[in-house]
Amino acid sequence: MSRFSPRRPAMGHVFYLMLFAAYIALFLNIAFFKQAFSLLPVDSLHNTLVYATMPLVLFCIINILVTLASLLWLDRLAISLFILLSASAQYFIMTFGVIIDRSMITNIIDTTPAESFALMSTKMVLTLAITGLLAVIVAWWIKVKKPASPLRSLALRVSSIVVSALIIVAVALLFYKDYASLFRNNKELVKSINPSNSIVAVNSWYSHNRLAHLPLVRIGEDATLKPEMRNGPRRNLTILVLGETSRAENFSLGGYARETNPRLKQDDVVYFPNTTSCGTATAISVPCMFSNMPRAHYDEQLAQHQEGLLDVIQRAGVNVLWNENDGGCKGACDRMPHQDMNRLNLPGQCIDGECYDDVLFHGLEEYIDNLKGDGVIVLHTIGSHGPTYYNRYPKDRRVFSPTCDSNEIQNCSKEQLVNTYDNTIINVDYIVDKAIKLLQSKQNRFTTSLVYLSDHGESLGENGVYLHGLPYSIAPDTQKHVPMLIWLSDDYQQRYNVNYGCLKKDAQTNPYSQDNLFSTMLGLAGVSTKEYQASDDILTPCRGAK
């Protein structure tokens, strides 16, 4: 009596790889396709073609990866890993609406066994068993036919890689602008693509935790206040307004034809028209500008576990406060008082979890009134952050129209887009002027000063490029050329002998960058430390100048 033994199906190696690449790309990315469909209206032939290429591109990418793995005899292992990761991620995305990122991996790692069992359900077990485990079993059950010639097998797999790569290039040539706009306007969309979302999230979690446990590198341990700062008739108060996505090209203080800085024009500020950023994204620029490292020698990993500007200022005995309205300080404020103003959810100032920058002033005057000693306050604005520029300013600051009241900025006219962006600059003008007015109202107790500096610029469709974040080496100047200004009260100028005329002249002729912020802020706050570099302090040439 013979036992029934089903015959294992057999297929060629290339077909085997393509079969499972198709399964992962098409059936384990349904969550991604649903989200993409909701964000890209298929209301024209062009958009239909864009949408239709998405599964093709995903198939080609996965096919390249598993075929490359096959060259090392790791194709079954890679396919199994991709299926299990993709099936699990898709289930949780579609069932719970989660986002697969570093924080989600942290949640999974920290989940107790009881919490894990609480998530278990019949639906979960069946879904993962069928879409994940069963597919992996099939992947190992199928026999791959032995090639008649190893060289021919290699040639076929290399050809498969080349053809897939050529298809990706062809799609990029035809629809790059559409893909770039979709993913830049909807940054969370990429976190629904399987299995890359899980792989990237795990890698990010690993890298973050590896660096997080490195010893904190202390700098400026010799920091003290200069005697002239301690012994004056008034304490010192500086506000640093940290801008977001404001580009210098649209500041009328720098020569822009439109009047986008009407208030600051009356405030006697010193504007620096030739200022460049350290990066083209907040996650790079903010840690860089608050570090003691210039862009040319900036070490991102070191910056994650090294003290920065505010640590040194605080160590000198200056009170530091960071008010946040832009999704985090990227480590720059981790060891000093800081508050996320979004969480206040103030009526009239916050919409769907985002607030106008006016929220940064909530409770600020009371804080200053109760301040004992010197102070440095950082206001981290949401500024001109896109693509929803129209949400960055209240209606009474809507100066230019018609506007682009959509996050699909590539579909707006150039006039609409620029009008909307310029309205954000009008709002920046209002916010910085408001900070100056606040400082002026406190001059009976404080010698006051202010710095405004944006983290990076923005592209508004020039050469088909929108938003920001391109690699620095190829990024257009609009993403790297940023506005910076300094305001010094009359009292500050006189007390510390700063020649304002000299400063204005230098501002027009000399190039500056975010590298200058570290020592300039130390100088403004009167902090003495070996970390201070006089040559980087913008005010140095004009201290004591006639």
pLDDT in tens, 482-494: 999 999 999 999 9
The pLDDT-based confidence of 158 (bands split at 50, 70, 90) is very high
> Are residues 191 and 239 part of one domain?
no
> Are residues 45 and 185 part of one domain?
yes
Decide if 82 is inside a domain.
yes
> Are residues 206 and 241 part of one domain?
no
Instruction: Work out the burial of residue 543: count CB atoms within 10 Å of its CB; fewer than 13 is exposed, 13-18 middle, 19 or more buried.
Output: middle
pLDDT for the residue numbered 418: 97
The Cα–Cα gap between 57 and 196 comes to: 14
Angle CA(511)–CA(517)–CA(519) in degrees, nearest 5?
105
> Are residues 344 and 199 part of one domain?
no
The Cα–Cα gap between 88 and 85 comes to: 5
CATH number of 292's domain: 3.40.720.10
Decide if 219 is inside a domain.
no
> Are residues 191 and 279 part of one domain?
no
> Are residues 238 and 288 part of one domain?
yes
Decide if 127 is inside a domain.
yes
E runs forming strands in 366-524: 375-380, 446-454, 459-460, 466-467, 484-488, 512-513
The Cα–Cα gap between 408 and 392 comes to: 16
> Are residues 133 and 47 part of one domain?
yes
Number of independent structural domains in the chain: 2
> Are residues 427 and 400 part of one domain?
yes
What's the DSSP call for residue 13? H
For residues 385-395, give the mean pLDDT.
91
Domain boundary (212, 244, 279) is at: 212
pLDDT in tens, 170-222: 999 998 888 888 887 787 788 889 898 888 878 877 776 676 678 999 999 99
pLDDT in tens, 40-92: 888 889 989 999 999 999 999 999 999 999 999 999 999 999 999 999 988 87
Find, among 418, 362, 343, 359, the residue nearest to 394 by Cα.
359
Structure token pair of residue 99: 């986002």
> Are residues 245 and 180 part of one domain?
no
> Are residues 264 and 412 part of one domain?
yes
> Are residues 306 and 382 part of one domain?
yes
What's the DSSP call for residue 187? T
Decide if 2 is inside a domain.
no
Contact yes or no for 196/203 (Cβ under 8 A): no
* pLDDT tops 70 at residue 101: no
Give the number of other CB atoms < 10 A from CB of residue 366: 9
* pLDDT tops 50 at residue 112: no
The Cα–Cα gap between 479 and 471 comes to: 10
Decide if 244 is inside a domain.
yes
Decide if 4 is inside a domain.
no
Angle at which helix 13-22 crosses helix 150-185, to 10 degrees, equals: 20
Mean pLDDT for all residues in the chain: 90
Query: What are the angstrom distances between the C-alpha of 255 and each of 195, 259, 302, 336?
Result: 48, 9, 38, 38
For residues 371-380, give the mean pLDDT.
96
Decide if 217 is inside a domain.
no
pTM of the predicted structure, to 2 decimals: 0.71
Q: What sign results for the dihedral spanned by CA atoms 7, 12, 17, 23?
A: negative
Domain containing 299: what range? 224-542
pLDDT for the residue numbered 324: 95
Tell me the backbone φ, ψ of residue 332, rounded to 5 degrees.
Answer: -70, -20
Per DSSP, the three-state class of 482 is: coil
The Cα–Cα gap between 349 and 226 comes to: 40
pLDDT in tens, 15-49: 999 999 999 999 999 989 988 888 888 888 998 99
> Are residues 255 and 189 part of one domain?
no
The Cα–Cα gap between 540 and 497 comes to: 11
Decide if 143 is inside a domain.
yes
Reduced to 3 DSSP states, what percent helix, strand and coil does the chain have, rounded to the nearest 5? 55, 10, 35
Domain boundary (186, 212, 238) is at: 212
Find, among 61, 48, 54, 50, the residue nearest to 21 by Cα.
61
Find, among 371, 375, 394, 435, the residue nearest to 241 by Cα.
435
Domain boundary (152, 184, 212) is at: 212
